[in-house]
Amino acid sequence: MFTRIPDYGFWRIAIAVFGLMALINYLPILSGKIPFPRDEVLRHSAWNGQPQEQLPELIDIAAMFYPFRALLSRASDERALPLWNPHIMSGAPFQANAQSALFAPLNIVYYLLPLKIAWTVNLVLRLFLAASFMALFVRSIGGSAAGSIISGLLFALCGFTIQWQGMSNGDSAIWLPLMFYGVHRLHTKPNRSSIAIAALTFSMPLLSGHPETAAHSTLAASAFAVFLWVSKRQMMMRSILAFVASGLLALGLASVQVIPTLEWLGQLGLQVEAPQPVLDRHQGQGLFSRDITRNPSSSDVWIPEGSAYVGMLGLLAACLAPFHSLRRYAYFFLGIAVIAAAVAFGVQPARWIIVHLPVIKAMKNGRLTLVVDFALAALAGLGISAIGEQLAKQSSRLRLWMMGFLGAAFFGLCFCIY
């Protein structure tokens, strides 16, 4: 039997590592700066005619999300909830706009702190929580201390999480690992506390402001629930009932946002029948290219849509996940990574299936790169765990297989990067 670092010791180390990671990533805040894309404002067409270069960010932060947060901050001075936005379109609903994220838990900082400080704290906290949630989940399924921490770092710093920071996509995405943790806990301990935790986690992406990301995350977490039921039949009926109960409770928690949004969308008469375009196959290079300084990047990857980089360490470690003793998890994550990538990049027959599904076909399913990044980070955590805790127990022949497999993966990834 191998020894494990006690959870309190593990979390002391994890919190220190993730806190340092967030601080280094946002180091300029110590000199009084705030993380805001100023160049996006100065070089946008509203001020500069037709821009001569494509910026690597969407204008959404400056044009929508920062003003939305400013409206929250102003409402805090009035001790009110901003249900109406008088500053656009001669007035428009604010609460009913899902991306206002009026009830997102992290946005409470706008009621407690000045706007610029709250914006900065929110971004730092978001990065820290993304890493912590990922580490919590990987640890719960048998990951080692090192594997769980590395998995957390990979997810928090992957292309999707970094490129969508400050936007509702990224705010909703950070809850995906916690949703998986809630599902796993619900399967192992189908009691009232687990139902409450799962319900809370499933409501968070909706409350955080991006229904599309919430739908993608819910589908992925639900697939994990089905996988657990099929792979381990003990208490299956009880865990299914607990899952259904948590889903109903999650809808109740999120109804404060969902019901006004659905009512407003019904009045707008929007059509959700036209299939949305997906990423072309070349955008898969985003997994191997870390250049995000312009759009398109030096590898002709669309930024931010195609950014999905998880690093050489993450890709190599993911290749070792099948050598973990709990390899059924590795096969599941490999499966959802392949399926999500097939949908995101329009691979047949996945594309044909999607365009025949109501509502789902109208989503921007190219953003399923979130699920790909998440699955690769989980695989990397299991791969590191297999090296750190189980390598000594493996036979010399199996160790040779692992080294050979790792070497082949290294040369394959080098070719992809080239």
Q: Could you report the average pLDDT of every consecutive run of 10 residues in the chain (418 residues)?
A: 61 94 93 85 63 64 88 85 86 89 91 93 96 96 91 94 91 96 90 92 93 94 92 74 92 92 81 79 88 83 88 87 86 95 91 86 89 96 82 66 76 78
Residue 2 is predicted with a pLDDT of: 41
Is the N-terminal amide bond of 35 cis, ω within 30° of 0? no
Q: Which two tokens stand for residue 305?
A: 């849509």
Residue 3 is predicted with a pLDDT of: 44
CA distance 221 to 182: 9
* b/e per residue 214-240 (b: at least 16 CB within 10 A): bbbbbebbebbbebbbeeeeeeeeebb
In terms of Cα–Cα distance, which of 367, 373, 362 is closest to 306?
A: 367
Three-class secondary structure of residue 407 per DSSP: helix
Could you tell me the CA-to-CA distances from 357 to 27, 34, 138, 354 in Å, in that order?
45, 43, 32, 5
Q: Which two tokens stand for residue 196?
A: 């409450």
Exposure of 332 in the CB half-sphere (CA atoms within 13 A) = 22
Residue 393 is predicted with a pLDDT of: 64
DSSP structural state of residue 212: H
Residue 292 is predicted with a pLDDT of: 83
Domain spans of the chain, in order of start: 7-417
Three-class secondary structure of residue 97 per DSSP: coil
Residue 373 is predicted with a pLDDT of: 96
In terms of Cα–Cα distance, which of 337, 378, 56 is closest to 220?
A: 337
Strand partners, 93: 84
CA distance 128 to 136: 12
CA distance 128 to 123: 9
Q: How many secondary structure helices (H) and strands (E) does the chain include?
A: 18, 2
CA distance 289 to 163: 13
Three-class secondary structure of residue 158 per DSSP: coil
Residue 46 is predicted with a pLDDT of: 59
CA distance 221 to 108: 26
The overall longest dimension of the chain from CA atoms, in Å, is 72
Q: Which two tokens stand for residue 368?
A: 């399923």
N-to-C CA span, the chain: 42
Three-class secondary structure of residue 120 per DSSP: helix
